[in-house]
Structure 1
């Protein structure tokens, strides 16, 4: 029985270490890469910032669905039998919406310490993708302690909400709600 604890701990520590490496790697890449100034353009939007803000807002809404459906899956609130399916698909859609945003941020802008808000946003972006990587790795492991997945899911949720606050909400409050 004493050998069980280190094995279970490693099931969490390895994904956390890989997630930390991803976070650092994204930050290093963003810092070393010469920003190109552009990378995405979706027709119908007034600016790249508007595109990113709306995609991030969509991901934020799906993150709220993730929180609600996770509470259903864990039996904290009553929900339909398909709560698990809702949770998985809302997560997939949230990540899908963030992909063009992160590609633009890394390729076009890089890691930017030019102001406290932008620095916080850059750090949060690194944190979010590191936490997301760790969550995906924890999901694939059997025997993970019961607290691990809700903790890492909460970190991913918190990271995405903080990213939305430092980007889309900031954009909408400074320029108005535009498309």
Structure 2
């Protein structure tokens, strides 16, 4: 009788995780530095049907927030964190596309914030908003870099996704929520 061969399992690779998070941190810091040294133009483009550029930003941030909730729910289903719920075949596609659309919705907001307003620190809400906006894109870059790698620790992508989700929530609550609380649900 022969002994079954045991193939060693490669340990999770942490170097790509460190590199991805470092690149993400560089992106976040780079955006913050750009926003700090760039002279704000205070110029923005209004979109037809909205009362102001701030209203456009608030609604796009809200769309990104709703899509981030879809991301959270679909990830929970994919990772088996919803007891009794079996992942349908389309859940991965929903997760990918809701993420793409969420980031796409944030791009005009980020461009306006960085170019027209810059990185601001005048009051705590604005400072948190500026920090979270930079973190959002750093976490996005880190997550995208991690998604293209195999053999990572199981926590790597969820941590990057969690940081991205948290950044979207903080950005939304320090901007869109503030806007809606002060002006109402206006367009």
Measured in 2, the distance between the counterparts of 1:170 and 1:152 equals: 26
- 1:87 equivalent to 2:83? Answer no
- 1:157 equivalent to 2:165? Answer yes
Gaps of 5+ in 2: 1-9
**Are the equivalent residues in 2 in contact too, given 1:11–1:143 (CA < 8 A)?**
no
- 1:75 equivalent to 2:83? Answer no
Q: Give the superposition deviation at 1:40.
A: 2.7
1:61-114 Cα deviation digits (max 9, x unpaired): 000000010011112222321100000000001011001000000010000111
Q: Give the superposition deviation at 1:39.
A: 2.8
- Aligned structure 1 segments of 4 or more residues deviating by more than 6 angstroms: none
Q: Give the superposition deviation at 1:151.
A: 1.1
**Are the equivalent residues in 2 in contact too, given 1:39–1:103 (CA < 8 A)?**
no
1:20-47 Cα deviation digits (max 9, x unpaired): 0000000000001011112332111001
Measured in 2, the distance between the counterparts of 1:16 and 1:151 equals: 10
Measured in 2, the distance between the counterparts of 1:175 and 1:146 equals: 43
Q: Say which of 57, 65, 71 aligns to 2:62.
A: 57
TM-score by length of 1: 0.95
**Are the equivalent residues in 1 in contact too, given 2:44–2:112 (CA < 8 A)?**
yes
| Structure (1/2) with the larger helix percentage | 1
Measured in 2, the distance between the counterparts of 1:69 and 1:110 equals: 34
1:23 is matched with: 28
User: Over aligned residues, Cα RMSD in angstroms?
Assistant: 1.1
**Are the equivalent residues in 2 in contact too, given 1:60–1:94 (CA < 8 A)?**
yes
Gaps of 5+ in 1: none
Query: Which one has a bigger Cα radius of gyration?
Result: 2
